[in-house]
Structure 1
């Protein structure tokens, strides 16, 4: 048996222990290079070739032991910290809904919140099942459908804007088998998943096609924004635009150009918001409620009063402040503080910071370029609403119709958020099982093109 054959037999036995088959080529190359170096060093000391090969194999150790060690390093991993904090978010949101249910039950006015709490439990269970299912799904399969997903999302947005269906005067919903789906609310997630696949280069098929995709990057952001403007979907516009621009800047570098693009975009959004009367009045109310009518400043003033009257321990489970609307949605965080106190609010804020920190740490550990891009987009879609909700608690920020991720009531957004978290877990789970195909030099080269 030749020396190369001996090395191959050894490498075969090592790879038999490693279940991540996509890593076999990379592992074989690294181990083979190391074996060659050891054998060459031994030969340089005056030993024969066969003896040098034998010595090199002995230095490496038993192939089964080496293989099991490599398998332990490269096996799929669950991010238990992210999973745990999200489940805690779900439990806190449920406690808030149950408190609302108890409050309405005590007053005897209606059974609205009891029904919402009952539905919320079902949505939570469905969301958790969906999250766990997607955690074991191979996220890379989404990439081939990126253009199709982008097109389908725009088609869905067009159809809901042209339909006669609206909820509280707002279009954006479709109903399937009695279940309402907020197409506009889901669209930032599907669009960012699509953009991650379109914008990320395929290193094996790197041609002029990718340069064409880069030229289409900004138009692919602008087109959905026009839909959001047409449909007066300000919250979705702000979130999608902010996240897509951050991902675009990160992928493309070129900070001078990026600053120009971002500055121009922010200016355009502010001009749009200022020219729509209801948005302009809302901004003025956040800055100085006395400069607008009592009706226009009602929500801001009641938010401030709610926060001021909460106290460190709150008013207790089942309490309710009737003046504060939308307590099951964008006002759930203030309601939780009003009910359970400033201490509970600080704990929840700390959990949000912990979630953000764990998400960023997980993102930094990912080496697959497509996975890293997809993770960044989804992560930011979840983080920005948390940050904005924290800012809204001050009572000096324009109130957007943004549900608190994983906590607020709502079937579509809860399922979307848990599904998004499932994809994050899927990406993290495979971070050590994929070859590092996209190294830093390739990324820098792609950004420069």
Structure 2
């Protein structure tokens, strides 16, 4: 590709989609950098790895952007099978971190195959429903959806990584609810799920199992144990007040009272340093991204493109809501990163690959 052709393709970029993503990445990198300021013996490993991951992810985004999304889904099953194999092999050669065997160590970097599984699942389910258009409610379509969703969910639960397993299940349920159920059926399924949950709670679970579930849902029942992180997160968010304590000056994040400031609780670290103003800017960027995703879906001229953008949008939206919710003490801690902001090379690279697919969709809806 000549320089002239490359510059021409850059003009075709959906900048309304790419800009908030880039700004969110910068937001995350700045937070990782400042959490090491004014700290004795700072460790820049996370910042350096995230910076490299961002570079690799952006390269991947631009490569995928030039590939027709219809051609990409031709390889969806291959990518899906590779992801399943990696999810199985990780039990043999994977690295265990905080009780979860879910990472490969490659040249000093941790690779989490479940992130590839999320990417592959969206591609595969979108291709499935596109191929079976007009037969979305048929037994074969629904059975295939259940099979390809359940396989990675089970493998991920065995690691165990319940947060990622729930995320994979959410993708399958989102497509199932949108395309394979009528509104009345959604109400019926929801009602049956509630009745089943009540029956299991009252007649199946014993007291210690109920206590575990209650502590998971409400960590503040155990403020010095499971609820410690959430308690410190809420303190950090409140301490930021309107304008924040300043970059590198947060007590909870800088003095390490708040654990996992680079991953699970990066929103709390931002709120403490930059206050309500900084958190509002972050939320505005996130809202910008989701509004653009909705606009792309609305403009899609074919089902396949809409399914792809919808699937990746579900992942980004759900993880954002869960991450911010657990930072505010509104949702249980599930170990899900904040898209484009939290530290995590695998998630960042695969998320940028998903944005690349959205870019491919967006520019081709304009007749490019």
TM-score class, shorter: 0.7 to 0.9
Shift of 1:280: 4.5
| CA RMSD between the two structures | 2.9
Aligned partners of 1:136 and 1:323: how far apart in 2? Answer: 45
Structure 1, unaligned runs of 5 or more:
1-75, 435-449
Alignment coverage as a number of residue pairs: 347
Shift of 1:262: 5.3
Residue in 1 that maps onto 2:163: 235
Residue in 1 that maps onto 2:87: 157
- Kept in 1, the 8 Å contact 2:243–2:276? The answer is yes
Q: Name the CA shift for 1:249/1:396 in 2 (closer, same or farther; >3 Å).
A: closer
Residue in 2 that maps onto 1:358: 292
Q: Name the CA shift for 1:207/1:98 in 2 (closer, same or farther; >3 Å).
A: closer
Aligned partners of 2:189 and 2:135: how far apart in 1? Answer: 26
Deviations for 1:131-169, whole angstroms, at most 9, x for unmatched residues? 122111111112222333333222221111344531233
Which structure exhibits the higher relative contact order, with contacts defined as CA atoms closer than 8 Å and separated by 6 or more residues? 2
Partner of residue 121 from structure 1, selected from 38, 51, 67:
51
Residue in 1 that maps onto 2:23: 88
- Kept in 2, the 8 Å contact 1:199–1:214? The answer is no
Partner SS state of residue 73, structure 2: helix
Shift of 1:333: 0.7
Residue in 2 that maps onto 1:415: 349
Residue in 2 that maps onto 1:371: 305
Deviations for 1:73-103, whole angstroms, at most 9, x for unmatched residues? xxx943211111111101111110111122x
Aligned partners of 2:135 and 2:332: how far apart in 1? Answer: 45
Aligned partners of 1:390 and 1:164: how far apart in 2? Answer: 29
Shift of 1:245: 1.1
Partner SS state of residue 313, structure 1: coil
Is 2:264 the partner of 1:330?
Answer: yes
Residue in 2 that maps onto 1:19: none
- Kept in 1, the 8 Å contact 2:80–2:117? The answer is no
Q: Name the CA shift for 1:207/1:359 in 2 (closer, same or farther; >3 Å).
A: closer
Shift of 1:175: 2.8
Structural mapping, 1:31-430, within 5 Å = 77-102=12-37, 106-108=38-40, 110-112=41-43, 114-163=44-93, 165-201=95-131, 212-261=140-189, 275=209, 280-285=214-219, 289=220, 291-292=221-222, 294-320=224-250, 321=252, 322-430=256-364
- Kept in 2, the 8 Å contact 1:303–1:393? The answer is yes
Larger Rg: 1
Deviations for 1:388-444, whole angstroms, at most 9, x for unmatched residues? 23322432321121111111112111101111111111111111338xxxxxxxxxx
Residue in 1 that maps onto 2:5: none
